[in-house]
Copies of this chain bind each other. A is one copy, B any other.
């Protein structure tokens, strides 16, 4: 991806600014591609993210606050996100017995099955996005990103 070509400019961009724009463009592309990979399943990237977190709980239910902590993109309205998954039958939600302020969210079997399918699509899409990077380059990239 060439920054200058994408934003159609001929003038040189200062390195710091170029770095910021470059990161934004790459992440835009990632978001778009992964979103497209998930489109056939009717879930957004955020909804997929929540399902993955729930699976990671290994049977233990997750509270709203847990989801919020672990989501890649923090958002205030996790409630409405879970609502949508509930509607699809991918999760269930019950009030926590020991502390009725909390709610417990679990992934259903239907959700697990759907998630497995989505995983395939997403993993393929990720591999595609990263196709031109060697393992060492990915490691180098991660090290550089640690500096933010």
Which residues of A are in contact with B by a Cβ distance under 8 Å?
1-3, 7-9, 11, 15-31, 34, 56, 69-73, 123, 126-127, 129-130, 132-133, 135, 137-142, 144-148
> In whole angstroms, how far apart are the Cα atoms of A145 and B22 in the complex?
7
Who on chain B is nearest to A21 by CB? B72
Determine whether the beta carbon of B16 is less than 8 Å from that of A127: yes
Given A29-B148, A71-B7: A141 touches B19 (CB 8 Å cut-off): yes
Determine whether the beta carbon of B56 is less than 8 Å from that of A26: no
Q: What chain B residues lie within 8 Å of A24 (beta carbons)?
A: 27, 30-31, 72-73
With A1-B145, A11-B56 given, name 6 new contacts (CB 8 A): A8-B69, A20-B130, A22-B145, A23-B27, A23-B145, A24-B30
> In whole angstroms, how far apart are the Cα atoms of A70 and B22 in the complex?
13
Q: What chain B residues lie within 8 Å of A142 (beta carbons)?
A: 3, 15, 18-19, 22
